[in-house]
Amino acid sequence: MGGPLQGIRVVDFAHWAVGPFCGLLLGALGATVVKVDPPEGDGLATVPPTQRGAGTPYLAVNLYKDNLRLDLKSPEGLDRALELIREADVFIENMSPGTIERLGLGYERVREVNPRIIYASATPYGRTGPLARNAGIDCLIQAFSGFARINGTPERGGEMLRFEGHLDLNTGLLLACAILEALLQRERDGQGRRVDITMLGASLKLQATRIAEFFATGRQPPLRGSADAVTAPHEAFRCQDGRWVFVGVTSEAQWVRLCRALDRPDLAQDPRFATNPDRVRRREELSRLLAEVFASRPFRWWETRLEEQRVPFAPVLDFPALVEHRELGAYLAEVEHPLRGRFYAAPPPLRYSRTPLDPPWTRADPLEPSLSPAEALQRLRKPPAEGTP
Amino acid sequence: MTVLRGLTVAELAEGTAGPVCGLLLAEAGARVVKVETPAGDRARGWGPPFVGGVSAVFLTLNRGKESLALDPSHPQGREVLERLLAGVDVVVVDGDPDGPWAEWAHREPAGDPVWCALPPFRPEGPWAGRPGAEGPFQALAEVPRSLGRPEEPPLRLGADAAETASGFLAYLGVLGALLHRARTGQGQRVEVPRAGAVLLMRTILWTALSRPDDWFGVHCDHYAYPPEQGIRVGDGRSIYFILRRSTEDLFDRLVLELGIEWVVADPRFADGGRQAVGIGRYAHEVKPVWESAFRDRSTEEVLDLIRRHGGEASPIQDYPELFAHPQVAALGIVEEVETPAGPFRALGRPWTVEGLPHVRLPRAPALGEHTRAVLARLGYTPEEAEALIRAGAVSAGG
């Protein structure tokens, strides 16, 4: 496996999306990842749609892995699990608080077996506090963490992002960062340690810039539709042909160039809109003014002008357009699964010059695990050579 | 003792993505020198709101960093920059093609630093020269299609999801490179094209939409759903809930208590009500049933009722409610630091690493606040420093 984590072995005991996506990222970076599913399979495997009978969300968050099933409630299953753990550098779990301990794989037990292991846990709300025992899913965390109250318009009110597990994946990404910190520290002192993350904390960090607004003003940020909070003009405008264009001016130089693109040099001289704070304070006035200009020509015209003047802009794409797009299509990959056929996924957009990453691959399957327990142990004991997944 | 103690970082980045990466490095204990032009990071002007004349967003993203202000178009300014870059462990460059640091985004580092570039798009692709911004990045990842209604003006996420995720990803990338470097002594270049960040976060959708056996489930259907605003309760607030752990028995008792026991005969409420709530297939359709059941109750009553019957529920909170909630206090994630403009609150890290204490970062720097100190560390004498300041190669403020 190419990548900076080549040689690192991960046992992924997590389920649903948070922990498994963390495992995916470590696998993308070159680690050998083995996912352990319970005897009845991962709960995520039941979420539709399916492709050739297998749940696509499971397929999506379990790239770069092999998987097996173990019954941790049986002595043999638990023994197998501990054998795998003995060979691993990283252990990931995201069960509801107390569960992994009841199954016999709590931190103390695992550390006994392998003191060098990084033991990574994700919980929805944390281990202390009134909600510590609560389970959580992406939408519940959207609701609790304020994420669902900052999207929308004043007329309609706040709404959630439907429904891609955005906060699940965000948590998994930051957990992967925490794990790498612990691995770095292990290089210094040879010790394993535990790392913990909460979906709630991760969601707050994702909203840091909106929360900064709240901390500064003491007030809930207002709903702004397509508009940015602290820069202007930075919103969507309707063109003559009904298509929308998202424009994003974030510097004074870009403002001047936008005025050129709109053939409105007068606006660049207009003292009402001279600086970003002026434009933000007069956002509605500016928006009305610019809306009229954009409505006077079709999208294609504005596309040529904005590109020429190097102003950040984009149309709203959809998936079919994304796949065909000459730039954005490059951020998607078609992955071949041995049982379920070909499907698209977005591999992590990281490129390393000295330790290049392997192209995305997958074998983990929600219905037919790709490894037996014995094969999984072999895989961890002898990770594959560079260049072979 | 912190993870990145002893590590030095040069941050040549404006706005959000690069600075988020730099912030995470600072939170892990690295010394982060933020290199700014004499005009400063454009984000200093991103507001209102302002605190002490500086953008609140800038202040939160740049806590714990030192500010070195120099003019990269001045030959001596460039010398100072090159001397700094030659001695750091990590360089973070935002790679905006129309920004002041574009030239440094393309470097192949000599020696062993980790050189992390965050260009808006792939440098080798057809959009290499294009600048990016949050709204356009969200539009390119079709985020607006997962919000609002198709016949209405498009929306975006209020969070700076694309740029912040780019910063998180860059931090992951840098840590990976640092791990390799710790084992081999080798640095390298890490590139993180920012347009890819939100595309990564939506990967479940791309797989679901590829070749599904049936067009079924929220990942396919949600584009046509109405906005998800939760379920209204009698006192005017809204909640969201699921019934993942309910049983037939618990569900029957729940609907009995709510006075809607007739639903047990409704196939949409089968399987313990799982498809009638949350992201279940019929959830948005049967919402009026729940709302009429909750009409005469308070939020607290409804939450309690659901939780006692195998469900999980949350009110849909705004920030004042959220930050008053004891669970946020239990997390210990909110920090406060004194500044000349008064106490400043910000978020700390959302994860803990056993045995490595949390770094409580000082406030964000004024423009050029650490210019003299950084010059001294780079080996310039005070006289040389003043000469550089007089020449306009660097500026010192704060």
**pLDDT tens-digit map of B230-271:** 999 999 999 999 987 778 889 999 999 999 999 999 999 998
Q: Is B335 on the interface with A (CB under 8 A)?
A: no
Contact A327/B122, CB-based, under 8 Å?
yes
Contact A163/B245, CB-based, under 8 Å?
no
Best residue of B3, B199, B314 to probe chain A, by most A CBs closer than 10 Å:
B314
- How many A/B residue pairs have CB atoms within 8 Å? 525
- pLDDT at site B109: 75
pLDDT at B14 over 70: yes
- % chain B with pLDDT above 90: 87
Q: Which 3-state string (H, E, C) describes B119-131?
A: CCCCCCCCCCCCC
Contact B178/A315, CB-based, under 8 Å?
no
pLDDT at A347 over 60: yes
Q: How far apart are the first and last CA of chain B?
A: 29
Ordered DSSP codes for B119-165: -SS-TTSTTTT----HHHHHHHTTGGGGSS-TTS-----SS-HHHHH
Rounded distance between C-alpha atoms, residue B334 and residue B350, angstroms = 10
Contact B206/A319, CB-based, under 8 Å?
yes
Contact A346/B209, CB-based, under 8 Å?
no
Contact in structure between A212 and B56 (CB atoms under 8 Å): yes
- % chain A with pLDDT above 90: 94
Tell me the mean pLDDT in the region A51-78: 97
Residue in A4, A144, A317 nearest the CB of B139: A317
Ordered DSSP codes for B343-380: EEEEE--SEEETTBPPP---PPPPTTTTHHHHHHHTT-
Measured between beta carbons, the chain A residues lying within 8 angstroms of B242 are 137, 139-140
Strand B65-70 and strand B31-36: the pairing is parallel
Measured between beta carbons, the chain A residues lying within 8 angstroms of B97 are 310
Question: Would residue A13 be called left, alpha or beta, if left means φ above 0 and alpha means ψ between -120 and 50 degrees?
Answer: alpha
Over residues B36-55, the pLDDT tens digits come to 999 999 999 999 999 999 99
For residue A73, name the pLDDT band (cuts at 50, 70, 90): very high
Min Cα separation B207/chain A (Å): 5
Q: Tell me the sheet residues that pair with A93.
A: A121
- pLDDT at site A384: 67
Residue in B216, B245, B333 nearest the CB of A49: B216
Over residues A117-169, the pLDDT tens digits come to 999 999 999 999 999 878 889 999 999 999 999 999 999 999 999 989 999 99
Helices (H), chain B: 17-27, 56-61, 75-87, 102-105, 134-140, 161-184, 196-201, 203-208, 218-221, 248-257, 287-293, 299-308, 319-324, 326-331, 371-377, 382-391
Min Cα separation A205/chain B (Å): 7
- Kindly indicate whether the ipTM for this predicted assembly is greater than 0.90, answering yes or no: yes
Q: Is B70 on the interface with A (CB under 8 A)?
A: no
- pLDDT at site B103: 93
pLDDT at A28 over 70: yes
For residue A172, report the phi and psi dihedrals to the nearest 5 degrees.
-60, -40
Contact A56/B141, CB-based, under 8 Å?
no
Rounded distance between C-alpha atoms, residue A127 and residue B324, angstroms = 19
Q: Is the entire prediction scored with pTM above 0.80?
A: yes
Contact in structure between A343 and B207 (CB atoms under 8 Å): yes
Over residues B17-28, the pLDDT tens digits come to 999 999 999 999
Q: State the DSSP H helix or E strand holding residue A334, giving kind and residue range, or none if neither.
A: strand A333-337
Measured between beta carbons, the chain B residues lying within 8 angstroms of A129 are 326-327, 329-331
Q: How far apart are the first and last CA of chain A?
A: 5
Contact A349/B47, CB-based, under 8 Å?
no
Best residue of B203, B308, B347 to probe chain A, by most A CBs closer than 10 Å:
B203
For residue A97, name the pLDDT band (cuts at 50, 70, 90): confident
Chain B CA closest to residue A172 = B201
Contact A354/B49, CB-based, under 8 Å?
no
For residue A279, name the pLDDT band (cuts at 50, 70, 90): very high
- pLDDT at site B284: 87
- pLDDT at site B1: 82
Over residues B54-101, the pLDDT tens digits come to 999 999 999 999 999 999 999 999 999 999 999 999 999 999 999 999
Q: Is B294 on the interface with A (CB under 8 A)?
A: no
Measured between beta carbons, the chain A residues lying within 8 angstroms of B146 are 161-164
- pLDDT at site A388: 61
Q: Is B150 on the interface with A (CB under 8 A)?
A: no
Residue in A139, A208, A328 nearest the CB of B195: A328
Instruction: Please give the distance of CA B340 from its chain centroid, rounded to a whole number.
Output: 27
To 10 degrees, what angle do helices A208-217 and A199-206 make?
A: 80
Longest dimension (CA), chain B: 87
Residue B273 vs residue A59, higher pLDDT: A59
- pLDDT at site B248: 83
Measured between beta carbons, the chain B residues lying within 8 angstroms of A350 are 169, 172-173, 176, 190-192
Closest to B261 (Cα-Cα) out of B278, B248, B243: B248
Contact A330/B145, CB-based, under 8 Å?
no
Residue in B99, B165, B212 nearest the CB of A56: B212
Instruction: Report the catalytic residues of A.
Output: 168
Contact A164/B141, CB-based, under 8 Å?
no
| Tally of CB atoms within 10 A around B148 | 21
Min Cα separation A72/chain B (Å): 20
* Average pLDDT score, chain B: 95
Residue listed under structure tokens 């001016």: A249
Contact A164/B97, CB-based, under 8 Å?
no
Q: Is B251 on the interface with A (CB under 8 A)?
A: no
pLDDT at A202 over 60: yes
- pLDDT at site A386: 57
Sheet holding B351-353, edge to edge: A65-69, A32-37, A9-12, A90-93, A118-123, A193-198, B351-353
Rounded distance between C-alpha atoms, residue A54 and residue B27, angstroms = 41
pLDDT at B398 over 60: no
Contact B164/A208, CB-based, under 8 Å?
yes
Closest to A209 (Cα-Cα) out of B49, B320, B311: B49
Tell me the mean pLDDT in the region A315-323: 97
- pLDDT at site A385: 64
Measured between beta carbons, the chain B residues lying within 8 angstroms of A279 are none
- pLDDT at site B397: 85
Over residues A220-269, the pLDDT tens digits come to 999 999 999 999 999 999 999 999 999 999 999 999 999 999 999 999 99
Residue listed under structure tokens 């359709």: B285
pLDDT at A387 over 80: no
- pLDDT at site B111: 72
